[in-house]
Amino acid sequence: MRKVVAVIDPAPGDLIVEIGAGRGALTLGLAARARRLLAVELDPALARRLQPLVPANVDVLQADFLDVDLTEAAAALRRASEQPAGALRIAGNLPYVASAPILLRLLHAAAPAGIRDAVVMLQREVAERVVASAGSRAYGPLAVMTALHADARWMLDVPPGAFRPVPRVRSAIVSLRFRAPARTPVDPAGFESLVRGLFTRRRKQVVNALAACGPARGLDPAAVCRAAALPPTRRPGALDLPELIDLADVLAALRR
């Protein structure tokens, strides 16, 4: 836990939202160094047990993180800290069954809520999907959406023996530094839908994947590839972020 806190490296003025506070091992380490912390815990019994253990700069919220309005939570943290411009950060050991939805939520909510970064523990296979590059085996929608909104770094391997009880999976700490997209798709929702559709057919040629892909139905896939300057024989799993945006923008233009 000391290594995890060191990776997060909280500053005295930081405002932190912790996902999955559990028994408070990370909560207490962060609270000792940050200005204020909101500890979100789904389990009512764990949240009740944690409440009397935390210092005055910690608020415990029993809730599903996916139901938390991050913009409101950020505003409440800033009011409570009397620090309107304080850096808002995310930390936590994400529940492995919900890690992908939580990550996507953070990617979409970071800009509106003013979130600077997130340092999270993930199952190793999910961490690989977050930092994957085009053409790699783990590359898919999660890597694409991460690359659009953040700079991702693999920070620390976490062996099973670091947990009690010992799990059957390995874990890793990943850092996401949020930023504005270098280039925003014309239709962000359409872009995300296209990426999901293409990667269900990642081994097909792009021209064939487009023909079966919902966002591109009714259009000439070969013409779409030409307009996006993409060879039709490329595979979706080899397309990098700019190429995927080119493809999505051509589709958006053709639908007008």
Where in the sequence of the chain do the CATH 3.40.50.150 domains occur? 2-178
Q: What pLDDT, on the 0 to 100 scale, is given for residue 209?
A: 93
Q: What's the mean pLDDT in 27-43? A: 96
Distinct helix (H) and strand (E) counts, the chain: 11, 7
Residues contacting 97, CB < 8 A, separation 6+: none
Q: What pLDDT, on the 0 to 100 scale, is given for residue 218?
A: 80
pLDDT-derived band of residue 84, with 50, 70 and 90 as boundaries? Answer: confident
Q: What pLDDT, on the 0 to 100 scale, is given for residue 106?
A: 97
Q: Is the pLDDT of residue 164 over 90?
A: no
Where in the sequence of the chain do the CATH 1.10.8.100 domains occur? 188-254
Q: What pLDDT, on the 0 to 100 scale, is given for residue 160?
A: 80
Q: What pLDDT, on the 0 to 100 scale, is given for residue 252?
A: 92
d(CA 108, CA 70): 10
CATH topology of domain 2-178: Rossmann fold (3.40.50)
Q: What pLDDT, on the 0 to 100 scale, is given for residue 161?
A: 79
Find the DSSP H helices in the chain.
2-8, 25-31, 44-50, 70-81, 99-113, 124-131, 141-149, 188-199, 206-212, 221-227, 241-254
Q: What's the mean pLDDT in 61-67? A: 96
- pLDDT tens string 5-34: 999 999 999 999 999 999 999 999 999 999
Q: Which residue has the tokens 């994400």?
A: 94
- pLDDT tens string 94-150: 988 899 999 999 999 999 999 999 999 999 999 999 999 999 999 999 999 999 999
Distances (CA, A) of 24 to 27, 169, 171, 194: 5, 22, 19, 40
Q: Pairing between strand 15-19 and 88-93? A: parallel
Q: Is the pLDDT of residue 45 over 80?
A: yes
Q: Which residues pair with 88 in a beta bridge?
A: 15, 115
Give the SS3 label for residue 205.
Answer: coil
Q: 97-134 b/e with 16+ CB inside 10 Å = b? A: ebbbebbbebbebbeebbbbbbbbbbbeebbbbbbbeb
Q: What's the mean pLDDT in 177-191? A: 96
Class of domain 188-254: mainly alpha
